[in-house]
C-alpha cells in the first residue's frame, strides 16, 4: 500500500530529536503499521485504560463526559511475530547516566516476568542520549534481581542493549533485534 502522508512523517521523524514520549510512540506505531502492511508481524498498541465516571448521549451517540486515566497493569504493545508472543513498552528518559526504574511500574515488571515465564518475548524500547535502545526483558530481570539500585546505569544499557536502527521504513526496526537474539541463524 502507498501511504504518502506516512512516508513524509517518517522522514521528518528520522531527523528529529526525541523530546517527548509521544514521538517515540509515533515511530513505533508507524513501524507496526509497516510490519502489518508487509505481513511481517501483527503488533498493536493497546488503548489507554480509562475509568469512566459519567456518560450521556449526544447527536453522535454515547459520549463520555467524565473519565480519568488509569495506570496500566500491562505493557503498552503486544502481538505476534514469527509465531512468538511479543509484549513491550516504550520509555523515554532525559537522564543521561541511568534509566530510572520508576518508569517501569511494579505490575508492569511483574507482567514482563509472567510473559517470559510463559514463553513470550518481552522488552523495553528506551529513548536515551539520542539513541533508541532495545533492552531485553531477561536482562532487565537479571539487573533488578541482582541490584538494589533504583535505576539502570547507562553503561548497562550500552552493554546489554541494542541500538535500534532508524530508517525510512520501518522507522524503528526493532524486530531486527529480535531476529538477532531469538532467531539466530534463521
User: Is 119 near a second copy (CB under 8 A)?
Assistant: yes
Residue choice 16, 73, 155, 168 for contact with a second copy (CB under 8 A):
73
Alpha carbons 174 and 182: distance in angstroms, whole number: 12
The stretch among 2-10, 71-79, 136-144, 174-182 that binds a second copy (CB under 8 A) is: 71-79
In the complex with a second copy, the residue whose CB is nearer, 14 or 80, is 80
Residue choice 4, 5, 61, 185 for contact with a second copy (CB under 8 A):
61
C-alpha to C-alpha distances, 77 to 66, 145, 185, nearest whole angstrom: 26, 24, 26
C-alpha to C-alpha distances, 171 to 16, 23, 27, 164, nearest whole angstrom: 12, 11, 6, 10
User: Is 5 near a second copy (CB under 8 A)?
Assistant: no
C-alpha to C-alpha distances, 120 to 65, 82, 87, 104, nearest whole angstrom: 38, 11, 7, 18
User: Is 71 near a second copy (CB under 8 A)?
Assistant: no
SS3 181: helix
Helix (H) or strand (E) holding 29: helix 21-37
In the complex with a second copy, the residue whose CB is nearer, 60 or 184, is 60
Cell numbers 521528518 label which residue? 12
**What mask of x and - would describe binding to a second copy in positions 78 to 117, judged by CB under 8 A?**
xxxxxxxx-x-----------------------x--xx-x
Q: Would you tell me which residues interact with a second copy (CB under 8 A)?
A: 36, 39, 41-42, 44, 46-50, 60-70, 73-74, 78-85, 87, 111, 114-115, 117-120
Amino acid at each position: 500500500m502507498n501511504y504518502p502522508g506516512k512516508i513524509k512523517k517518517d522522514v521528518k521523524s528520522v531527523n528529529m530529536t526525541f523530546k517527548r514520549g509521544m514521538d517515540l510512540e509515533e515511530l513505533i506505531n508507524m513501524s507496526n503499521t509497516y510490519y502489518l502492511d508487509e505481513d511481517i508481524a501483527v503488533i498493536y498498541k493497546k488503548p489507554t485504560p480509562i475509568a469512566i465516571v459519567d456518560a450521556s448521549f449526544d447527536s453522535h451517540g454515547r459520549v463520555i463526559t467524565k473519565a480519568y486515566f488509569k495506570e496500566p497493569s500491562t505493557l503498552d504493545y503486544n502481538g505476534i511475530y514469527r509465531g512468538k508472543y511479543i509484549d513491550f513498552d516504550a520509555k523515554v528518559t532525559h537522564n543521561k547516566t541511568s534509566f530510572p526504574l520508576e518508569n517501569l511500574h511494579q505490575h508492569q515488571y511483574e507482567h514482563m516476568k509472567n510473559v517470559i515465564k510463559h514463553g513470550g518475548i518481552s522488552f523495553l524500547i528506551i529513548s536515551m542520549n539520542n539513541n533508541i535502545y532495545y533492552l531485553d526483558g531477561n536482562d532487565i530481570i537479571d539487573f533488578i534481581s541482582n541490584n538494589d539500585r533504583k535505576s539502570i546505569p547507562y553503561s548497562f544499557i550500552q552493554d546489554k542493549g541494542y541500538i535500534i536502527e532508524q530508517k525510512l521504513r520501518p522507522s524503528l526496526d526493532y524486530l531486527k533485534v529480535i531476529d538477532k537474539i531469538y532467531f539466530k541463524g534463521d
